[in-house]
Amino acid sequence: MLLSAMMAAVIAAASQLAIPLPLVPINLALLAVFMAGFLLEGRWALASVLLYLLMGAAGLPVFAGFRGGPQHLLGPTGGYLTGYLLAVATVAGLKPWAGSFIKRALVCALATIVCYVPGTAWLMWLTGRALPEALGLAVLPFLPGDALKCLAAAYLAPRLNQISRAFSA
């Protein structure tokens, strides 16, 4: 439970390492979501992301740009924020299969897609934009950075897992 709360704080901190863009900022939150999935048991990984979302919904400034409040879950970034739940569930669920660097990177790539789908669908519905325009605004600019996040998570997960086990022993 403590590690779950700590991962919620890590996600909040990673959200602040951001590059603002017109609709959806680029930040490191998805990397922290991947790490939660790799480091925690499935239910605790989900709990960490849910806690992060609940803190933000309650108004705590945990979302990118030190923002908080329910309007952010209902605004242009809302679908991506809720997509974090699907992403962490994907990583946690496929973690037993992901025994190599390549497999961990593939799991993260799948989790990224799983996050993009509700995020892009929500953005399209909310703004009335067509799929090509929404992809150009909220997916394509993120692909290089998200690919790097996948590689970083694939590399860091086993190393941080060893450290995490040492603390919980």
CA-nearest of 62, 26, 56 to 138 is: 26
What percentage of the chain exceeds 70 in pLDDT?
98
Question: CA 37, 144, 45 angle in degrees (round to 5)?
Answer: 10
pLDDT tens digit string along 10-19? Answer: 999 999 988 8
> What angle, 0 to 180 degrees and rounded to 10, lies between the N-to-C axes of helices 29-39 and 78-94?
30
pTM recorded for the entire structure = 0.93
- 17 alpha-carbon distance from chain centroid: 13
Kindly state the DSSP code that residue 129 receives in the 8-state scheme. Answer: -
Instruction: Tell me what pLDDT residue 34 has.
Output: 98
Q: What is the pLDDT of residue 169?
A: 63
pLDDT digits (tens, 9 = 90+) for 95-143: 999 999 999 999 999 999 999 999 999 999 999 999 999 999 889 999 9
| 126, 76 Cβ separation under 8 angstroms | yes
pLDDT digit string, tens, across residues 77-90:
899 999 999 999 99
What is the pLDDT of the chain when averaged over all its residues? Answer: 94
The predicted structure's pLDDT at residue 166: 75
pLDDT at res. 25: 75
Q: Which of 168, 119, 156, 144 is nearest to 32 (CA)?
A: 156
Mean pLDDT confidence for 2-31: 90
3-state helix, strand, coil in the chain (%, to 5): 80, 5, 20
Domains of the chain in start order, with CATH, are 2-168 (1.10.1760.20)
Go through the chain and tell me how many residues it has.
169
